[in-house]
Structures are given as C-alpha cells and as structure tokens.
Amino acid sequence: MVLDVIDVTKLLVARASVTPNDAGCQTYLKEQLAAQGFVNETMVFADTTNLWARRGAAQPVFCFAGHTDVVPTGPIERWQFDPFTPTEHNGFLYGRGTADMKASIAAMLVATQKFVQDYPDHKGSIAYLITSDEEGHFINGTTKVIDTLEARHEKIDYCIVGEPSSTNVTGDVIKNGRRGSLTANLNVKGMQGHVAYPHLVDNPIHALGPVIAELVNTKWDEGNDFFPPTSMQISNISGGTGATNVVPGTASMVFNFRYSTELTFECIQERVYFILEGLKVNYDIQWTYNGLPFLTEPGVLVNAVVKSIQKVCGIQTELSTAGGTSDGRFIAPTGAQIVELGPENNTIHKIDECVNIANVITLEKVYYQVLVNLLT
C-alpha cells in the first residue's frame, strides 16, 4: 500500500513522544522500513531509543537523520486543538511535533517507499538514523549511535537532517552548516560583609562589571563567507543574599558563544582566561561543550539538494548556517556531508505548532528527487 505523507504525519503526531519518550514512533518506522527491504537495528542507551536502519551494503551511504521526540506542550488550554490530536485547519496541520520534526520523518518515509518501488536496484545504500533524545539532554542519542557506527567502521557519506530549515515555502532555505556552541558558567569570588563597611568586604558583583564590559566589547572574529561573526551572549547573572545590607561572597554569570569555523573552543577559552587574569578576578569557571561548528561546502550533496529544490519547487534556495545546534554536529566529524532540509520553522516549540500541508507534500517530492540525484 502506498503511504500518504499527511496520514503518516498524523499517525506520528498522535504519539505523545515528549523527550526522551519515543512512544512507539520508531516501532512504526521499523515496520514500514522492513517492508521496503531495510535491516533495522534498535540501539537503546539509558532512557533513549534509537533506530539505525539500512537498505543495501554498498557505498555511498545516504542517510536520513531525525528525531521522534518533541518538546513539552506548554499549557494545553492555550492550544486551539489538542496538541496530540493532529488537526487540519485552513490548509495547515496542527499538533506538537508537526514541524519539528514529524512531518519531515513522514516525508522521508514516503519518499523512500516511492523511490525503492521505482528504483529497486539503486546504487549505494539508504539509511535512517532516528533518535528520541534530540530535544532533551542529547547524550544518549545520535552521538552514541555514531560512536557505535564508527567503532565498526560503518560510514555515512551523505546525510539530510530533517530539521525545519525553511522560512516561507519548502526549500527556500537549507542549512549547510551550523555554528559551534560553547557555554561558560563563571563564578566570581569575593568576601561577604556589611554594605556599611566597604573596607571589610570584597564585592564580587563589582568585579563582575568590568568582566561583562570586556566580554561584550570584544570582537571575536569577522566570520567568513558562510558564517556570521562569533556571538557572545550573557543568559544569566546571579548574586546577593536577598538582604539589602549584605555584600555577597560570590556572584555568577552564564554566557554562551555561538562561534564560526574561524575559531576553536580552545581559542575562545584562552581569550576568556586572558580577560579574567588581566582584570585580576578571583574566579572559577566550568565549560560546557554543546557542539563544534561544521560546514558542508557546495559539492555532491549540496548540489544534489539545490538541484532537487529547483526542479520540484522552481526556486533558488539560500544556503544558511544560522540558528541553533542540531544533531548534524555529531555526524559531521565523521566526514559526512550534511544538509538540513525540512518544513517552515516559524512555529517550532510554540503553542499551536503547525505545518503548511502543501509544503509537506512538496518536501516529500524534494526528498524523492534527492534520492534520484544521488543514487541513480
């Protein structure tokens, strides 16, 4: 039976797979992929269910990557329709996960089914890497699957991640890279005491002021043809005991770098240390590495995707590296070429998340054309 992309999207959205719960989505995918000649392998790490499925044994390996988990709904009473009862309304399909990213998974599945029917003896291999831990802690999902594949020397050559990349219509924007993300948790140490006796205290909040000014006014790089200049943003500052007459003993600040391929995280750390030491701050700092930057320059995969969008949609796509991180950051270091292509992203993680139904149907056709361009 030929699958319908909207019906498959509804079936997946109806499963309340709030991260890291898969809620049976991957069981459905395995059944459908097995019928298309895929060999399925479930990889469970702690609370996370992952699927690695592959059809064929030859290179190149083209992989569809994505996640079945969704973010929490927020206040359900604020939704027009129940978030896990997929509802069509005015040309849109509403439900949590429609855009991020169950419509993409449905489009992948239907495109693959049609491609395998049309080209049963296609070149290379088709693979799926699906996780239920992308919206959560992302420690037991794609990164663990990639570790497993690398240990047995199983390589992905080309990968489309189904993250919602489009702005208005399918394919108007694709992501061919992402900035790296590095978070610092800085704790400045002082000496607590009474505000009326400044000679007996060391105010860490005052010490934090020049640090903020220096970090904000530092130009980290110029960016390049694919990436904007590195951005440093402060997300949290805390200090004080709650009393108005007490200088606190510590003050803390959390700040994040979204950085380009012009920098490494070691370079950023060295410059932060230089600032702190130069200001003679008494501190400790913890770093969280959220992901390295990656870039797929125009080549086999990017060209195949751009040509597919042009043929199906009649538009010239924009290459972009904007936005947050994605699981592409775990796949790119293996040498795979990565492109993110999915539906419009203007409602992701919001109340009343939805996708344009016509755009989802178009996405399925684009995915199909990419398979044709790469594997025939």
How high is the mean pLDDT of the chain? 97
Same topology for domains 5-178+293-375 and 180-291, yes or no? no
- 69 in active site: yes
Helices (H), 218-346: 265-278, 300-313, 328-331
Q: How far apart are CA 20 and CA 265, in angstroms?
A: 28
Question: What are the tens digits of pLDDT across the range 100-128?
Answer: 999 999 999 999 999 999 999 999 999 99
pLDDT band at 324 (very low <50, low <70, confident <90, very high): confident
Check residue 1 and give its pLDDT. Answer: 80
Question: Regarding the domain delimited by 180-291, which CATH topology (the fold level of the hierarchy) does it fall under?
Answer: Alpha-Beta Plaits (3.30.70)
Question: What are the tens digits of pLDDT across the range 197-242?
Answer: 999 999 999 999 999 999 999 999 999 999 999 999 999 999 999 9
Residue extents of the structural domains in the chain: 5-178+293-375, 180-291
Check residue 126 and give its pLDDT. Answer: 98
280 pLDDT more than 90? yes
Does 100 carry a binding-site annotation?
yes
Q: How far apart are CA 355 and CA 101, in angstroms?
A: 10
- Which of 69, 340, 344, 353 is the catalytic position? 69
Does 67 carry a binding-site annotation?
yes
Q: How far apart are CA 126 and CA 38, in angstroms?
A: 8
Check residue 235 and give its pLDDT. Answer: 97
Angle at 162 between CA 161 and CA 164, to 5 degrees: 120
Check residue 325 and give its pLDDT. Answer: 84
- CATH value of 5-178+293-375 in 1.20.1260.10, 3.40.50.720, 3.40.630.10, 2.40.50.140: 3.40.630.10
71 pLDDT more than 90? yes
Give SS3 for 228. coil
pLDDT band at 323 (very low <50, low <70, confident <90, very high): confident
Does 199 carry a binding-site annotation?
no
Q: How far apart are CA 320 and CA 52, in angstroms?
A: 28
Report pTM.
Answer: 0.90
Distance from the Cα of residue 251 to its chain's centroid: 32
Q: How far apart are CA 66 and CA 198, in angstroms?
A: 56
- Which of 7, 31, 82, 134 is the catalytic position? 134
345 pLDDT more than 90? yes
